[in-house]
Chain A
Amino acid sequence: GAGVSQSPSNKVTEKGKDVELRCDPISGHTALYWYRQRLGQGLEFLIYFQGNSAPDKSGLPSDRFSAERTGESVSTLTIQRTQQEDSAVYLCASSLTRTPTYNEQFFGPGTRLTVL
């Protein structure tokens, strides 16, 4: 079956532009997560959705970052007025429900964002 997909796979943008990153989770997975991986760093948690609601937005690095999920399916991460420090690989994951101990998170291949 289809796994988690993300688009685009690569995005190069100029500083100050807005970007949208898309995630298509595995069908039927109610939980969806966004992580960020900067060069040489571990994955940072950004935001989590249960259904279409985001109970925890504490990982979003600034108010330039926002995310939404519709139809308990597709999610979009939007970065406004991009800065060079936003350059990273953005990873999306989904799981049947929350609680990673018992519900494996399945990851997409990521979107590599480069801000010039």
Chain B
Amino acid sequence: GDSVTQMEGPVTLSEEAFLTINCTYTATGYPSLFWYVQYPGEGLQLLLKATKADDKGSNKGFEATYRKETTSFHLEKGSVQVSDSAVYFCALASSGYALNFGKGTSLLVTP
């Protein structure tokens, strides 16, 4: 069945460091890929998405490129801020309606 694997956290970075959170997937067909973020005390929010191979999703300085050849959708940001501290979830939708989520990666950015 479909699945998403993302790197385990927690990830701790200093402010202005470069961030990469790895995400790989297994799916039949051509899934759409998503990154959701959950800030402390808040609900999950869509951060970015890509619907076909080689698409790049971007938002708030975060980027992820849909790589079909490596079945990956790694999240990157060039310079993280303390306000980026949150839990990040990679997800896919291969058909229908439900999202298939990874386990989440906790990010802590220190001043």
Q: A-side interface residues toward B, CB under 8 Å?
A: 3-4, 31, 33, 35, 40-43, 45, 48, 56, 59, 91, 93, 98-101, 104-110
Instruction: Kindly supply a per-residue 1/0 record for chain B positions 68-111, scoring 1 wherever the CB is within 8 Å of any chain A CB and 0 otherwise.
Output: 00000000000000000000010101001111111110000000
* Interface pair A99/B97, CB less than 8 Å apart: yes
The answer for the CA separation of A98 and B98 in the assembled complex, in Å, is 9
* Interface pair A109/B42, CB less than 8 Å apart: yes
Question: Is B27 positioned at the interface, with any CB of A under 8 Å from its CB?
Answer: no
* Interface pair B103/A40, CB less than 8 Å apart: yes
Q: Can you pick out 16 interface pairs between chain A and chain B where the beta carbons lie within 8 Å of each other?
A: A3-B43, A31-B97, A35-B99, A35-B101, A42-B102, A43-B99, A48-B97, A56-B98, A91-B44, A98-B96, A100-B99, A101-B51, A105-B99, A106-B43, A107-B43, A109-B41
The answer for the CA separation of A48 and B96 in the assembled complex, in Å, is 10
Among B32, B34, B104, which residue has its beta carbon within 8 angstroms of that of A42? B104
B92 (CB) vs chain A CBs: closest residue: A100
* Interface pair A109/B103, CB less than 8 Å apart: no
- Beyond contacts A42-B4, A59-B98, A100-B32: 14 other A-B pairs, Cβ-Cβ < 8 A, are A4-B43, A35-B101, A42-B101, A42-B103, A45-B99, A48-B97, A98-B96, A101-B93, A107-B36, A107-B43, A107-B44, A107-B45, A108-B43, A109-B43
The answer for the CA separation of A59 and B101 in the assembled complex, in Å, is 14
Which secondary structure dominates chain A's binding surface? loop
* Interface pair B100/A45, CB less than 8 Å apart: yes
The answer for the CA separation of A80 and B92 in the assembled complex, in Å, is 31
Given contacts A40-B103, A43-B89, contact A91 B97 (CB under 8 A): no
Determine how close the nearest CB of chain B comes to the CB of A6; give it in whole angstroms: 8
The answer for the CA separation of A56 and B97 in the assembled complex, in Å, is 10
The answer for the CA separation of A108 and B98 in the assembled complex, in Å, is 16
Question: Is B17 positioned at the interface, with any CB of A under 8 Å from its CB?
Answer: no
The answer for the CA separation of A109 and B39 in the assembled complex, in Å, is 10
B99 (CB) vs chain A CBs: closest residue: A100
B98 (CB) vs chain A CBs: closest residue: A45
Contact partners of A40 in chain B: CB under 8 A: 103
